Structure 1
Amino acid sequence: MEVIHESDNSRFVINLDGQLAELDYLLQGDEVNFSHTFVPPEMRGKGVAEKLVRAGLTWAKAQQLNISASCWYVQKFLK
């Protein structure tokens, strides 16, 4: 299960058997807001969303960005 960072589309994605899960973000200056997480029903319960969020947060920290989240799922990781 590979996480791909599509920086041109401001998202992280996992493609499993043609199904696409994604973590969207908005980047403004030195701040990133993780805005939306989506996992197709067929992929749920397999840790896909967690893998996306962890990859996104790792990237943001490596870039020394200020992190916020309007997505409720990502907010759980920031507490």
Structure 2
Amino acid sequence: MEKVNVTCRLNADDIVFLDKLATLTERDRSYLIKKAVSEFIALQKWQIEEVEAALVEAEGGEFVTAREVKSAFQELQK
């Protein structure tokens, strides 16, 4: 996969902590930033996939009705 340089501005306090974390983990700042971005993207992809799957279920009538949810909660409260 082609790599592209990206520039962003970060809070100075975050950079100080990032450098401390880099020292403690024996990694460099770039590694930690790449890992954080990669994990953020993975989470966002997962959330989008889950929402899209839920929308397909809803459009297909696979969700329970409000009445069924209310009934289930009433049963749990007994």
Scaled by the length of structure 1, the TM-score of the pair is 0.28
Does 1 or 2 have the higher relative contact order (CA < 8 Å, sep 6+)? 1
TM-score (norm 2): 0.28
Give the strand-richer structure, 1 or 2: 1
